Amino acid sequence: MTHENNHYSHRTGWLRAAVLGANDGIVSIASLIIGVASAHADIEDILLAGVAGLVAGAMSMAAGEYVSVSSQADTEKADIALEQYHLIRDINYEIQELTDIYITRGVEPELAGKVAEQLMAHDALGAHLRDELGLHERINAKPTQAALTSAAMFTLGAAMPLLAIMVAPASQIIPAVTITSLLSLATLGTLAAYLGRASMLTGAARVVFWGALAMGFTALTGTLFEMAV
C-alpha cells in the first residue's frame, strides 16, 4: 500500500493571486456592465465601459499585487537581516532560543538542546527563519509573479461578461451577462477548491453568492441613477 504524501500549501501564493484576479475580473466587469445597462445606455457605451474597466482593472490588480507583495518581501528581508545580526552578536542566546521553541512544542529539554545545536551547526539562519519566524524559504513573497498572475487572470475573468455582450441581443444583455458571469464564478470557485483540495461546493457557493450580491447592488445603482436623471 503506497502512502500519498503530496501537500498543497505550496500553491497558496500563485493560487491566491489567480483566484483573486479572475474573481475580481468577472465580478467587477459584470457589475459595471449590468449597472450601465440598467440605466438603459446604448450598446456602444456599455461595451466601452466594459473594455475600459478591463484595462483599468488589470493594471490596478497588477500594481496592487506588486506593491502589497513587495511590502511583504521587504518585511521578510528586514527579518532576515535582523536574524543574521542576532546570530553574529550572540550565538549562544540564539541556540537557547531555538531550544526553548522546541521545548514548548513538546520535545524533552535535553533532546531539544541537541536538536537546536545540530540544526544550528547545519544551517543556523535557516533553522531560525523556519522555526522562529515561520519563513520556509529565504523569501516567500514573489511580487512580479503575483502581479502578472493577477493581471492575466483579471483579464481572463473580465473577458467572460464582455463575450456575453458581443453574442447576446441588445435586449438580453443583463440576463446574458448575469448568467454567464455566475456560471464563470461557479467554475472558478470549483476549480480553485479542487486545486487546493477543499470543498468544491463551498468554493463555488461563496464566489457565486458575493458575485450575485455585487451585480444586484450595481443593477440597483443603475436603475436609481436613471430615475434620478
DSSP string covering 129-196, please? HHHTS--SSS----HHHHHHHHHHHHHHHHHHHHHHHHHS-GGGHHHHHHHHHHHHHHHHHHHHHHHT
- What is the end-to-end Cα distance of the chain in Å, rounded? 71
Do 66 and 147 touch, CB atoms closer than 8 A? yes
Tell me what pLDDT residue 136 has.
Answer: 66
Alpha carbon distance 193, 143 (integer Å): 23
Average pLDDT, the chain: 86
Alpha-carbon distances, residue 168 vs 72, 90, 113, 182, 224 (angstroms): 44, 70, 70, 16, 24
Lowest mean per-residue pLDDT among 2-6, 11-15, 140-144, 149-153: 2-6
Cell 484595462, residue? Answer: 55
Alpha carbon distance 160, 80 (integer Å): 43
Query: Which tens digits make up the pLDDT trace of 104-161?
Result: 888 898 999 998 989 888 888 888 888 887 776 544 667 888 888 889 999 999 999 9
